[in-house]
A and B are shown apart, each in its own frame.
Chain A
Amino acid sequence: MKKLMLGNEAVARGCFEAGVRLVSSYPGTPSTEITETIVKYDDIYCEWAPNEKVAAETAIGASIAGARSMACMKHVGLNVMADPLFTVSYTGVNGGLVFAVADDPGMHSSQNEQDSRHYAKAAKILMLEPSDSMEAKAFTKKAFELSEKYDVPVILRLSTRVSHSQSLVEIEERENIELKPYIKDSSKYVMMPGNAIKRHKIVEEREKALKEYVESTELNVIECNNSKIGVITSGISYLYAHEALGNQVNYFKLGVAYPLPIESIRNFTKGLEKVFVIEELDPFIEEHCKMNGIDVIGKDVFTLLYEYTPQMIKKAVLGIEPPSHFELDEAIPNRPPVMCAGCPHRGTFYVLKKLGLTVSGDIGCYTLGATRPIEAVDTVICMGASIGAAHGMAKVRGSEFNEKLVAVIGDSTFVHSGITGLIDVVYNKGITTVIILDNSITGMTGHQDNPTTGYTIRKEETKQLNLITLAKSIGIENISVVDPFDLINLEKVIKEEVKKCEPSLIIASRPCALLKTVKYTGHAVITDKCKKCKKCLGLGCPAISNKNGLIVIDKNQCNGCSLCLNVCPFKAISKVEE
């Protein structure tokens, strides 16, 4: 049976068919739907871990215990799990071990555009790279097989367009894979110097074996069209290249992103007049070719930036201009993402902006607090960075600066990697005020449960992480819980806490407006008391706009959260129940 599936759904199906027993992940666009699909397979234990490092370690443990297992994450999550990655390369696996990692060329939903292929090379492990959903499933299964055969963890490299494109997939049955016996073997699994010294040698031998394997694997495919032009490519770029160039060139499609073959590339290029390497982001294949004396054209004609398109490739390889298209005769406003109507973060950012504070921000929906018209956020680096960064700012600029400084971080992000930052503040006598924007869910990636929600990925009730008890045990003495829509109280609390020469934690607690359990009713309307002061427009609510000088609220967009009622100085906004 053939089914239309997202690349991510196909990876999940591949896990199911490969007899995988455990999947542990942290959500991150564009990888999230792999694990959300795994939930549908009762035969697989799955979980949201607090972060990617824990997810990877859980999968590593399951592998050592004899099960096929996987951890899934976005590219920046791979940075978080880099520590176990480099050492599990040394230990190798017992049950097959695969890490699904999704890069985001074009940064549709990410803070950087890193090319994760470098990790496979640096950690000396195998990396496979599918082009579409059918391959995503097949390569997932193959990855488990190769992981066990070569005693190597495997990265399955995805990218946004592979993860989030649907194409047809042939569904197969689940293989019955028994747990492998668990045998205590400290020389393999205890990585202290005496053992690691021996394992490194094995890693290098394995690397040689993998380099031999990639010269003959069916995952690397040559497609000969009797052309004098050759194209070496992989992943989504192969599909772009094929769309653009059709049968006019010969293709070497690399299904293995690392290690790369040498001899088979050399053979492929023999007799060709020109060979192009088409790869998004870094010149990974290109440098490999050039280092081995194979003459190829790569980043001389292709950009290092963003996503590629078939038209771009057609122009670069065949010199064919794109089709003519309509032009717009005027500049039109762009439409950046915004915080939703009813977003609980809006209240917090409104107050932070009003107080003119320096805001050390973090990763989540609330990163949008940096955009117009709110523009309250000063820095955003990576998951969990807000607290450490604020602590560093306060240490060098002193208490006067600190009175105008806060860190803001979401509940899920705080658990992911903010807790250690907070411990640092307390332990090293910092004075930073931290605001946890607790919206009771992992928001940006589409509502995943986390340790603060009290539910597992399968919606089973579990122990709920209590942020107050946690903060107390760290040693924070100033803890307040506020409603971010109670603007008067929120302002009062923030003003008090930033003045203190001690660390403070403010928990701004109100659930995400998109949660099904949140039931706002009615909608707000502007009455004739409106003096057009435009204060409500400063909230940056997508439901409130200025129509030819008249302030109006779009009832289709307004969800009745009533925050704007608290902002209007003339009581000119009222609520209408339907």
Chain B
Amino acid sequence: MNKSIMIVGVGGQGTLLASRILGNLAISLGYDVKVSEVHGMSQRGGSVTTYCKYGDKIYSPLIDKGEADIILAFEALEAYRALPYLKKDTGVMVINITEIDPMPVITGQMEYPKDIIKKIKEKAKVIELDSTKIASELGNPRCANVVLIGAFAKNLDIPYENWIEVIKNTVPNKFIELNINAFERGINS
């Protein structure tokens, strides 16, 4: 059994941390793991994609079109962009419905596509929530990534304690409490 999880978002939204949490979780479950990250220029507010693959033995760290079991999307347009990567029939998308305008929209060259979530739902199974709003309620919109992970976690058969342990070991000390709160808001959403 190999699982492919793709995490997409906008540079600065915390996709790196999310992929590290998932990677460490998979290790705690005894799997072979590969996590692919993005650094440098592409992090500056552009589209970012990270991958987490786990299973008995993982070779390539990449996920190609039609291969992702799960896509965690931190932004609506990025969810839409990633749709071709989702496995047809069985793939699930977990989407933060927040919308962030990309530069071609800001400069008026193009429009932000309408009804994205509806369009994705016509094709694939979707779990949607406004994790940015929830994170803001917690006092820090930056923990929207962990809220989304919580929403993802409630659909999996992995004990709550494992998640908490991994979050504690992955996030910086001073943010542990915030992130555990964020995770719980996600799991109860």
Contact = CB atoms under 8 A, between A and B. Distances in A.
Interface string A434-467: 0000000000111000000000000000000000
A324 B106 CA distance: 34
A108 interface: yes
A239 B88 contact: no
A195 interface: no
> What is the predominant secondary structure among interface residues of chain A facing chain B?
loop
A39 to B, nearest CB: 16
Interface string B134-167: 0010000100000000000000000000000000
Nearest to A74: B40
Nearest to A547: B101
Given A33-B39, A325-B85, A445-B40, A333 B105 contact: yes
Contact of A324 (B41, B85, B88): B88
B117 interface: no
Interface in B89-121: 100-113, 119
A365 B59 CA distance: 33
B124 interface: yes
Contact of B41 (A33, A328, A340, A444): A444
B102 A310 contact: no
Contact of B46 (A331, A336, A372): A336
B59 A243 contact: yes
A537 to B, nearest CB: 6
A542 B83 CA distance: 24
Given A243-B60, A340-B45, A365-B44, A167 B33 contact: yes
B37 A6 contact: yes
A444 B83 contact: no
A331 B81 CA distance: 10
A165 B35 contact: yes
B109 A165 contact: no
B83 A328 contact: yes
Given A540-B106, A554-B100, A29 B40 contact: yes
A556 B65 contact: no
Given A322-B66, A333-B77, A109 B40 contact: yes
B136 to A, nearest CB: 7
A161 interface: yes
Contacts of A329: 119
Interface in A297-344: 309-311, 322-340
Nearest to B68: A325
Q: Indicate the size class of the contact surface on chain B.
A: 35 or more
A30 to B, nearest CB: 6
B128 interface: no
A340 B44 contact: yes
Interface in B53-103: 58-62, 64-67, 77-78, 80-81, 83-88, 100-103
B10 A165 contact: no
A74 to B, nearest CB: 9
Interface residues of A, number: 62
B62 A309 contact: yes
B27 A168 contact: yes
Contact of A326 (B36, B83, B103, B112): B83
A391 interface: no
B65 A311 contact: yes
A335 B10 contact: yes
Contact of A164 (B38, B105, B106, B124): B38
A334 B47 contact: yes
A30 B36 CA distance: 12
A168 B33 contact: yes
A324 to B, nearest CB: 6
Nearest to B142: A556
B40 A108 contact: yes
30 contacts: A108-B38, A108-B42, A161-B62, A164-B37, A166-B23, A166-B33, A168-B32, A239-B61, A242-B59, A311-B65, A322-B64, A325-B84, A326-B84, A327-B84, A332-B113, A333-B113, A335-B77, A335-B78, A335-B102, A335-B103, A336-B104, A337-B42, A337-B45, A368-B44, A444-B41, A445-B40, A540-B103, A554-B101, A556-B132, A557-B100
Given A335-B47, A339-B45, 17 more contacts: A4-B35, A132-B34, A166-B20, A167-B32, A240-B59, A240-B62, A242-B59, A323-B67, A325-B84, A328-B84, A336-B102, A337-B41, A340-B44, A534-B108, A542-B100, A542-B103, A546-B108
